[in-house]
Structures are given as structure tokens and as C-alpha cells.
Chains A and B, each alone.
Chain A
Amino acid sequence: MPPKSLKCKECQEEYPLEAIYACSRCFGPLEVSYEPLDGRDPAELKRRIQAGPNTLWRYADFLPVQRPPEGALPTGMTPLIRADRLGKELGIDELWIKSETANPTHSFKDRVVAVAMARGLELGFKTFACASTGNLANAVAAHAAAAGVPAWVFIPADLEREKITATAIHGARVIGVKGNYDQVNRMCSELAHERDWAFVNVNLRPYYAEGSKTLAYEIAEQLDWRLPNHLVAPVASGSLHTRMGKAFDEWRDCGLVSGPLPAMHGAQAAGCAPVANAFEEGADFCRPVKPDTIARSLAIGDPADGPFALELARRTGGAIESATDDEIREGISLLAKTTGVFTETAGGVTIAVLKKLAERGAFGPGESVVATITGDGLKTPDAISDLIHIDEVEPTVEAFENLELVGVSA
């Protein structure tokens, strides 16, 4: 599918494939549009994918960039894990965990950065930047180091230490902004107009968003070219959720998969749930909120793709739900104990919402469900420190034999 133009999702105005992100006519979001694949044999498309590299670049036919830059970090093709024990616990017949912890910087953000940076380099940018809740910062810093270009990363100054460390170590210039993510984002939106930098989630946002599609392609390919009945993904800006829907639509249109779109469920933290609130109220637009949650990577109070996430969930029979901080911690613990996957807080949100949906009977008998775990637990250890207990002993067998176990490790 050769990329054709950037197209406004609101008024359909088309623009060249440059570093622009908002329609100058109505300010609507621009999205990459492609030449239609009419007449292409699905079997041939499938062969091209299967003959591709073991990274997200195997889906280059569906991306705005055809190949990665030299030395790019290998990204994608993360495991899809059958989670029977967790499924049994929750009463789900066929449950899969898509573990994005296996990406180079341990979150799905490597995907969006891989594609945005490839396009940014093609467009001739020399410096890369982002506004981030943490995971994107890690990814921009690492991919910029791999590409040998400087990176400027803007984050809320009070972010988790682990995420700051994993960003700064790559040589990125880390700017801790004294404010919340939405303020960082507003500042970067203004800066993007003044600097000749590639802000991956501002002026390169249309390309960045396309990277999220590869998560959905992988799920379909790993399910042997089948769509699941349900998909549960976290919603921060709504970019991942909506682009996964776009990806499934594209593959249905070209015959790589068939059947209805999965019910596209979204998961938010109760302390930052503008999209879940709007879903519950039946509204088609989100009222912004001031975030207060342990799920810092989802703490976007003014979600850019909120209205489109609402539309996708409703169109596919999905729901957008929220989980409290305690439910998030329980979700992290439940996933870890039943699957061996340790997730950051965002994955705890996903599992907590998965559990709510299961309890409500959202998943029918025999239906397949995929939950996306978007980041690694080692990024947010403080969130669950209260659940962790160790038993200490003197280094003798006798001391161990006499040990009274006072708690069960989380």
C-alpha cells in the first residue's frame, strides 16, 4: 500500500507526506492515507510478510516508510502468550497476553518511535524530541542513540526515577518540566512551531501513530491470520487503541483476515479517565481532567484521539472502563502470578479492566480475548512496593528451619 497523502480525519482535506499533524483548515488530526490495494492477491501479501524480517518492518507494505534506517533497533515481533491459568481464574476460554515488555526499551512505544524516526530521518531532520509520560522518552532516547542523532526529551519532572534513568543513560537531554503531562504536551506543541526538530508525537504524529498498527498486525499473524473476538488495550491519548482498529480494518479490506472487527475495549485509570467517563455518559467528546493515578504512563488528561476511541469502542461493541489504583496493583500481581509476565502500571490497568469485563459477562463461551501488556514492571516498581515481602534469615540452615513465615510474597 504505497502511502499517498496525509488526510484530515475531520474534513478529508489532503496534504503532502511532510512533518505536519493538524489540518490547517479545521485543526483536525492528519492521518496517513494509502493507495488502495485493490487487485493484490492476499496470498502474495502474506508471503511478502512472512519473508520479511523478524521485526515490525515485515509489515512495511502497510507503513508510511518502506525500510528502517541503518542500525535501527530491532523492534516488534513480541510474544503472544497463551494465558490459560489467568483465563481460568477470570472465566475466559481463550485468553492471550501480547507482551510488549519484550521490545528494546520494554514498551510498545518502540514501535511508534521506529516508524516516526525512520520517516523523520527521510525528511531530513537532524534532532528528535518528544513530550512523554516516560515510555516514549525511553524509546526516543534509545532509538536516537542507535541512529546517532541527538534527542531532547520533555517529561513531567516528578516522573518515575526508573524511566528518567533509562532515558538519560542514552545521552538524551532530559528536560523535567514542572507540571503534568498535558502541560508538557502544550509546551512541546508550542516549541514544535519554533524549532526545526522532529517531535515524534507532535509534528511527526501521523507517522508515529502508524507504528501502533504493527501491534495489531502481529496479533492477527500470531493467531494464524485470525482476528480475536475481543481486544483489551490501555487508552491514554487513544492513539494505540484507534490505530489497532485501523490496522484490523486494513487487513480485512485486503483479504488478509476475515470476520468482524474485534470488540475494541479500552482501559483507563480511574484517576485519569476522560475517555471512560465520556463512554459512560454517552458523550462523543471527552472533557479533560487533571490526572491523579499511579498509572503515570496513562496520565493524559486531554486525550488527542479520545473521540475516535469512543467511536471505535461503540462501533465494535467494546467498552471503555476504568480501574482504581488498588485494582491496578491487584491486576499487576494477578498477571505476574498466573502468567510470569511482570507489567508496569498500565498493564495493571488492562488486567483490572479485563477482569471487570469478564465478571460482567462481556466475553462469551469459546470467544478469544487478547490483552495487550504495553510495558515492563521494572519501570514502575514503587507502585507495588507495598505488595512485596521478603523473609530474612541468618546464613545458617538452623535459622532457616526455625524461620516463621510472616507473609506471602506478592
Chain B
Amino acid sequence: MSNKLIVSLSPHEKGELSVEKVMWGVVIALMPSFAISVYTFGFDAIKVVLLSVVFCVGIEFLIQKFMLKSETTILDGSAAITGILLAFNVPSNIPWWQLLAGSVVAIGISKMAFGGLGKNPFNPALVGRAFMLASFPVEMTTWPVPFSNIWSPATDAITAATPLGRLAEGGVKALGALTDPPVEAVDYIDIFIGKVGGSLGEISAAAILIGGLYMLYKKIITWHIPVFYLLSLAGFSGLLWIIDPSKYADPLFHLLAGGAMLGAWFMATDLVTSPMSVKGQIIFAVLGGLLCGAIRIYGSYPEGCSYSILIMNAFVPLIDKYSKPKRFGKEVNYG
């Protein structure tokens, strides 16, 4: 027997869960979407995702090593998630230096300035994306056509409209022009599996769903946020669609197009920036879904998902304060 016995308070048993398992689990869940983006955009997709991850992890490492002079925690996987999610939110032909700028804002300002993992009020990847969209509006909204010369280095950007972009510009009638050759109706199967233009990770709802179900299975997230977010978005857009189908797109389109799926499954569910109680998570998700619909339909941007989540992030402390979990023995009446 060694001479050093540990004497500490109970519990003496420790569960299997660790930060690393949670974070790398999310990375695994993001892989189906990555595969689809490589299939659609080719070499550029690999390049953008790799660069983004290297930038994000590298910046976190440099800040911890030289500015904070603390232990580095890059292996916990959270910076890698931010890198992948940031890459998923940009077009595949984004210039590398713009991606670097986005990474600096995402990790440096949105995460490390607040105290690192767990302390950031806003989702770092979304802050990075919002910064890039405001700073480089042209590059951020010029998407290459899917399946065009995908294995050769990016040539001149041939832009393809995203479903939501079409909708914002030309209304419901323009939606049919998405496919080539243009047809009258939207092909939902195409949007579902991802044969449309858009940012890297948002194009295939199917791939995101696979990743999301994996996270549910691994108990990394609970179903409340994605389900309520999407239901609320569908409800809001569905109501308007029932009122005037010639003016508004149907709810299924809103669910499948753009970043709603990616946002609902991977951004809104971000553990750090979502509420703690189930009640709070539902409030957070429902309001987020409504905001997303409102921005899409009434706002000047075609896509409102990322802003809806960022805005709701700001309300998390307030939601936490007023949505306490149901306490054992509290609601019981006694003399």
C-alpha cells in the first residue's frame, strides 16, 4: 500500500462524463455535414474548415500561452468546435485572411476576453460570423455554384443564389428558379439533402439531423431547444403562409432552407450560451424561433437564424433567473 491515502468528502465515485467527451462528441456530430460540404464544394470545403480550425485553436493557444500565461486547454475541443462552426457559416470561397479576422473575433474577443471556456455570453462562432458579415458583406454573400469544378482551386466566384436569398429578392415565385433548369416548384428533396447553394455546413438538413440525433443519443444535448426552436419558426412562418400563400413561403421551406437546422441543432444548443433549466431552454428556443422568422420575413437580411440566437444569448442570464427548475416539495401545500 502506498503511504498516500486520499481523504476527501463524498461522493468518492466519479461519472464517465468529461468536458473532452462532450466537446469531441459535438465534433463527431458535425462530421456528416462536413462530408456533405466536401461532396458539394470539393477541395475548398476541406481548406476552409481546416484553416478555420487551425486559426481558432491557434489563437486560443497563443492567447493562453503569451497573454494569460496559463495552462493551455486547446485539447478540450471547444476551440475546434468554434472553428468548424465558423467555417460552416461562410461560403467555401472565402479569402483566408477574412477567415482569420473572423477567428480572432470569435476566439479572442467573444471567448477568451470573457474568461475562456464557459464564461462567454455569446456563441463565439456566431459572433465571428456576424463580424464577418458586417465587415465583408460581398464575400460573405457570394456563394459558389454547387458541384462546379469542385476539385480544382477556386477560380472566379460564380455565384449561386441561396434559397433564402431568392426568397428575399424575388418572393415566393422566384423559388422555382433555384434548380437548374428552373422549374416551377421548389424541390424539397434537394434542399433536404443539400444540393443547393449556401454556406458550407448549412446546405444539407439531412446531415445536420444525423449529427443532431447523434448528440441526443450521446446525451450531449436534450431535445427541447432544437425541437422548440424549429416548431416556433415553423409555426410563425406557417401562420403567415396560411394567410397568404402567394406572398409567404411555406413552413417546410423555412425549416429546411438556410441556417435554421444548423442553428437549431448546433448553435442554439451550445451548452455555454443556453439556459440551465428545461423551462428556460424552452422559452429561449421559442423566442429564438420567432425572432428568426421575423428577421427572415420582415428584416433586410435574407437569413435571421444567427442573429436570433445571438439576441437570445443576451437574455440567458435573465431567463435563468426567472425559470427555476421545479423544486422537490416546493409546490406542496402545508400549514
Do chains A and B interact in one complex? no
Residues in chain A within 8 A of chain B (CB atoms): none
